[in-house]
Amino acid sequence: MGIYHITYAPEPRELCIYFDGPCNFSCHGCICKNRPLDIHLAERSEGVRPSISAEKVLRLVEELDFKRVIFMGFEPTVNREFYKLARAMKFRFNSYNVLLTNGYKFVEADVVDSVCVSIKAVTEEIFRRFTGRRGSKRVLQNFRRYRDLRLELRAESILVPGLIDAEEIERIAEFIAEVDPRIPYRIDGYIPMENDVYRRPTIAELEEARRRAEKYLRNVSILHHGMKPKYAVRRIY
Protein backbone atom coordinates (compact mmCIF):
# COMPACT_ATOMS: atom_id res chain seq x y z
CA MET A 1 0.00 0.00 0.00
CA GLY A 2 1.27 3.45 -0.88
CA ILE A 3 0.98 6.47 -3.17
CA TYR A 4 1.05 6.01 -6.96
CA HIS A 5 0.50 9.55 -8.25
CA ILE A 6 1.11 13.18 -7.16
CA THR A 7 0.11 16.36 -8.99
CA TYR A 8 0.61 20.03 -8.17
CA ALA A 9 -1.38 23.13 -9.16
CA PRO A 10 0.83 26.20 -8.55
CA GLU A 11 -1.91 28.84 -8.82
CA PRO A 12 -4.07 27.58 -5.92
CA ARG A 13 -0.94 26.08 -4.25
CA GLU A 14 -2.56 22.65 -4.12
CA LEU A 15 -1.24 19.10 -4.04
CA CYS A 16 -3.26 16.04 -5.02
CA ILE A 17 -2.03 12.74 -3.62
CA TYR A 18 -3.42 9.46 -5.00
CA PHE A 19 -3.45 6.29 -2.90
CA ASP A 20 -3.23 2.89 -4.56
CA GLY A 21 -5.76 1.03 -2.44
CA PRO A 22 -7.07 -1.24 -1.27
CA CYS A 23 -10.66 -0.06 -1.40
CA ASN A 24 -13.59 -1.22 0.72
CA PHE A 25 -15.97 -0.73 -2.25
CA SER A 26 -16.05 -2.29 -5.72
CA CYS A 27 -17.85 0.49 -7.55
CA HIS A 28 -19.10 -0.09 -11.07
CA GLY A 29 -16.97 1.94 -13.48
CA CYS A 30 -14.42 2.91 -10.81
CA ILE A 31 -12.64 5.95 -12.23
CA CYS A 32 -9.40 5.11 -10.40
CA LYS A 33 -9.22 1.78 -12.23
CA ASN A 34 -10.18 3.14 -15.62
CA ARG A 35 -8.56 6.60 -15.47
CA PRO A 36 -5.99 6.40 -12.67
CA LEU A 37 -4.09 9.62 -13.48
CA ASP A 38 -5.22 13.17 -12.73
CA ILE A 39 -7.80 14.01 -15.39
CA HIS A 40 -6.55 17.62 -15.50
CA LEU A 41 -3.11 16.68 -16.80
CA ALA A 42 -2.41 17.79 -20.36
CA GLU A 43 -0.03 14.87 -20.91
CA ARG A 44 -1.12 11.42 -19.70
CA SER A 45 1.10 9.08 -21.70
CA GLU A 46 3.61 8.29 -18.93
CA GLY A 47 1.28 5.83 -17.23
CA VAL A 48 1.12 4.71 -13.62
CA ARG A 49 4.39 4.37 -11.71
CA PRO A 50 5.22 2.01 -8.82
CA SER A 51 3.76 2.99 -5.46
CA ILE A 52 5.93 4.90 -3.02
CA SER A 53 5.90 5.50 0.74
CA ALA A 54 4.85 8.56 2.73
CA GLU A 55 8.52 9.34 3.41
CA LYS A 56 9.29 9.41 -0.33
CA VAL A 57 6.32 11.72 -0.94
CA LEU A 58 7.56 14.17 1.68
CA ARG A 59 10.96 14.33 -0.02
CA LEU A 60 9.39 14.90 -3.44
CA VAL A 61 7.22 17.84 -2.32
CA GLU A 62 9.43 19.59 0.21
CA GLU A 63 10.54 22.29 -2.27
CA LEU A 64 7.01 23.06 -3.52
CA ASP A 65 4.98 26.04 -2.37
CA PHE A 66 1.66 24.51 -1.31
CA LYS A 67 -1.00 25.17 1.30
CA ARG A 68 -3.67 22.55 0.54
CA VAL A 69 -3.23 18.80 0.23
CA ILE A 70 -6.03 16.67 -1.22
CA PHE A 71 -5.90 12.98 -0.32
CA MET A 72 -7.68 10.89 -2.93
CA GLY A 73 -7.30 7.81 -5.13
CA PHE A 74 -8.91 4.46 -4.38
CA GLU A 75 -9.80 4.99 -0.69
CA PRO A 76 -7.26 6.80 1.48
CA THR A 77 -8.83 5.80 4.82
CA VAL A 78 -7.93 2.11 4.39
CA ASN A 79 -4.34 2.81 3.32
CA ARG A 80 -1.82 2.74 6.19
CA GLU A 81 0.26 5.47 4.51
CA PHE A 82 -2.62 7.96 4.65
CA TYR A 83 -2.54 8.64 8.39
CA LYS A 84 1.24 8.80 8.46
CA LEU A 85 1.37 11.22 5.54
CA ALA A 86 -1.55 13.42 6.66
CA ARG A 87 -0.03 13.94 10.11
CA ALA A 88 3.42 14.63 8.63
CA MET A 89 1.98 17.18 6.19
CA LYS A 90 0.32 19.10 9.02
CA PHE A 91 3.37 18.90 11.28
CA ARG A 92 6.05 19.79 8.71
CA PHE A 93 4.19 22.06 6.29
CA ASN A 94 1.17 23.26 8.28
CA SER A 95 -0.99 22.09 5.39
CA TYR A 96 -4.76 22.30 5.09
CA ASN A 97 -5.70 18.65 4.59
CA VAL A 98 -8.70 17.68 2.47
CA LEU A 99 -9.93 14.07 2.47
CA LEU A 100 -11.94 12.65 -0.43
CA THR A 101 -13.61 9.49 0.86
CA ASN A 102 -16.48 7.10 0.29
CA GLY A 103 -17.39 7.63 3.94
CA TYR A 104 -17.46 3.99 4.98
CA LYS A 105 -14.57 4.37 7.44
CA PHE A 106 -14.60 7.33 9.83
CA VAL A 107 -11.50 9.49 10.28
CA GLU A 108 -10.91 11.60 13.38
CA ALA A 109 -10.32 15.32 13.00
CA ASP A 110 -6.68 15.39 14.06
CA VAL A 111 -5.42 14.57 10.54
CA VAL A 112 -7.91 16.44 8.32
CA ASP A 113 -9.45 19.90 8.08
CA SER A 114 -12.01 19.20 5.37
CA VAL A 115 -13.89 16.11 4.26
CA CYS A 116 -15.74 15.47 1.01
CA VAL A 117 -17.90 12.36 1.21
CA SER A 118 -18.94 10.64 -1.99
CA ILE A 119 -22.48 9.54 -1.14
CA LYS A 120 -23.17 6.81 -3.68
CA ALA A 121 -26.82 6.28 -2.75
CA VAL A 122 -29.20 6.35 0.21
CA THR A 123 -31.37 3.52 -1.10
CA GLU A 124 -29.70 0.33 0.10
CA GLU A 125 -30.35 -1.74 -3.03
CA ILE A 126 -28.98 0.96 -5.34
CA PHE A 127 -25.99 1.36 -3.01
CA ARG A 128 -25.32 -2.40 -3.15
CA ARG A 129 -25.67 -2.58 -6.93
CA PHE A 130 -23.20 0.25 -7.42
CA THR A 131 -20.61 -0.46 -4.71
CA GLY A 132 -20.81 -4.24 -4.46
CA ARG A 133 -21.56 -4.19 -0.74
CA ARG A 134 -24.17 -3.13 1.78
CA GLY A 135 -23.67 -0.20 4.12
CA SER A 136 -25.48 2.94 2.95
CA LYS A 137 -26.66 3.68 6.50
CA ARG A 138 -23.10 3.48 7.81
CA VAL A 139 -21.96 6.11 5.29
CA LEU A 140 -24.86 8.40 6.21
CA GLN A 141 -24.12 7.99 9.90
CA ASN A 142 -20.46 8.88 9.36
CA PHE A 143 -21.51 11.91 7.33
CA ARG A 144 -23.47 13.16 10.34
CA ARG A 145 -20.46 12.49 12.57
CA TYR A 146 -18.25 14.65 10.37
CA ARG A 147 -20.71 17.52 10.74
CA ASP A 148 -20.55 17.08 14.51
CA LEU A 149 -16.76 17.56 14.35
CA ARG A 150 -17.30 21.02 12.82
CA LEU A 151 -15.02 20.24 9.88
CA GLU A 152 -15.52 21.84 6.49
CA LEU A 153 -17.87 19.28 4.97
CA ARG A 154 -18.90 18.71 1.35
CA ALA A 155 -20.68 15.94 -0.51
CA GLU A 156 -20.73 14.63 -4.05
CA SER A 157 -22.55 11.92 -5.97
CA ILE A 158 -22.40 10.39 -9.43
CA LEU A 159 -25.39 10.55 -11.75
CA VAL A 160 -25.57 7.18 -13.54
CA PRO A 161 -28.58 6.96 -15.87
CA GLY A 162 -30.42 3.73 -15.23
CA LEU A 163 -28.88 3.22 -11.79
CA ILE A 164 -28.28 6.39 -9.75
CA ASP A 165 -30.84 8.62 -11.43
CA ALA A 166 -32.29 12.05 -10.65
CA GLU A 167 -34.77 10.58 -8.17
CA GLU A 168 -31.96 9.06 -6.13
CA ILE A 169 -29.97 12.29 -6.33
CA GLU A 170 -33.00 14.08 -4.90
CA ARG A 171 -33.18 11.59 -2.03
CA ILE A 172 -29.49 12.16 -1.31
CA ALA A 173 -29.98 15.93 -1.33
CA GLU A 174 -32.90 15.61 1.06
CA PHE A 175 -30.71 13.63 3.46
CA ILE A 176 -27.88 16.18 3.26
CA ALA A 177 -30.35 18.99 3.98
CA GLU A 178 -31.43 17.20 7.14
CA VAL A 179 -27.81 17.43 8.30
CA ASP A 180 -27.29 21.02 7.06
CA PRO A 181 -28.78 22.62 3.91
CA ARG A 182 -25.68 24.82 3.60
CA ILE A 183 -23.38 21.86 2.83
CA PRO A 184 -22.06 22.17 -0.75
CA TYR A 185 -23.14 19.31 -3.01
CA ARG A 186 -21.67 18.40 -6.42
CA ILE A 187 -23.27 16.04 -8.94
CA ASP A 188 -20.76 14.38 -11.26
CA GLY A 189 -21.62 12.92 -14.63
CA TYR A 190 -20.79 9.22 -14.88
CA ILE A 191 -17.91 8.32 -17.21
CA PRO A 192 -18.66 4.95 -18.84
CA MET A 193 -16.18 2.17 -19.41
CA GLU A 194 -15.72 0.42 -22.73
CA ASN A 195 -18.79 -1.74 -23.48
CA ASP A 196 -20.49 -0.39 -20.37
CA VAL A 197 -24.11 -1.23 -19.56
CA TYR A 198 -24.55 2.37 -18.33
CA ARG A 199 -24.09 5.54 -20.37
CA ARG A 200 -22.87 9.05 -19.77
CA PRO A 201 -25.64 11.44 -18.63
CA THR A 202 -26.57 14.35 -20.85
CA ILE A 203 -26.10 17.91 -19.63
CA ALA A 204 -29.90 18.21 -19.56
CA GLU A 205 -30.08 15.22 -17.20
CA LEU A 206 -27.41 16.74 -14.96
CA GLU A 207 -29.31 20.03 -14.89
CA GLU A 208 -32.50 18.19 -13.98
CA ALA A 209 -30.71 16.44 -11.12
CA ARG A 210 -29.38 19.79 -9.96
CA ARG A 211 -32.85 21.34 -9.99
CA ARG A 212 -34.14 18.50 -7.85
CA ALA A 213 -31.26 18.86 -5.38
CA GLU A 214 -31.75 22.62 -5.17
CA LYS A 215 -35.18 22.07 -3.67
CA TYR A 216 -33.30 21.12 -0.48
CA LEU A 217 -29.79 22.55 -0.70
CA ARG A 218 -28.40 26.06 -1.16
CA ASN A 219 -25.15 25.22 -2.99
CA VAL A 220 -25.42 22.62 -5.76
CA SER A 221 -23.08 22.28 -8.73
CA ILE A 222 -22.53 19.83 -11.57
CA LEU A 223 -19.41 18.44 -13.20
CA HIS A 224 -19.29 16.91 -16.68
CA HIS A 225 -16.71 15.97 -19.29
CA GLY A 226 -17.12 19.19 -21.29
CA MET A 227 -15.89 21.44 -18.49
CA LYS A 228 -12.38 22.86 -18.69
CA PRO A 229 -9.97 22.82 -15.71
CA LYS A 230 -9.61 26.05 -13.76
CA TYR A 231 -5.86 25.74 -13.14
CA ALA A 232 -2.77 24.30 -14.78
CA VAL A 233 -1.65 21.03 -13.20
CA ARG A 234 1.75 19.35 -13.42
CA ARG A 235 2.86 15.89 -12.48
CA ILE A 236 5.24 15.44 -9.56
CA TYR A 237 5.15 11.64 -9.56
pLDDT tens per residue across span 64-82: 999 999 999 999 999 999 9
| SS3 assignment, position 73 | strand
Q: What is the CATH number of domain 3-235?
A: 3.20.20.70
Q: How far apart are the first and last CA of the chain?
A: 16
The tens digit of pLDDT for each residue in 20-50 reads 988 999 999 999 998 899 988 876 667 899 9
Question: Where do the structural domains in the chain lie, given as residue ranges?
Answer: 3-235
DSSP-derived pairing of the beta strands 234-235 and 3-9: antiparallel
| pTM passes above 0.75 | yes
State how far Cα 165 lies from the chain centre.
Answer: 19
Q: Over the stretch 148-206, which tens digit does the pLDDT of each residue have?
A: 998 999 999 999 999 999 999 999 999 999 999 999 999 999 999 999 999 999 999 99
| Beta-carbon contacts of residue 125 (< 8 Å; ≥ 6 apart) | none
Q: What is the mean pLDDT of residues 125-135?
A: 97
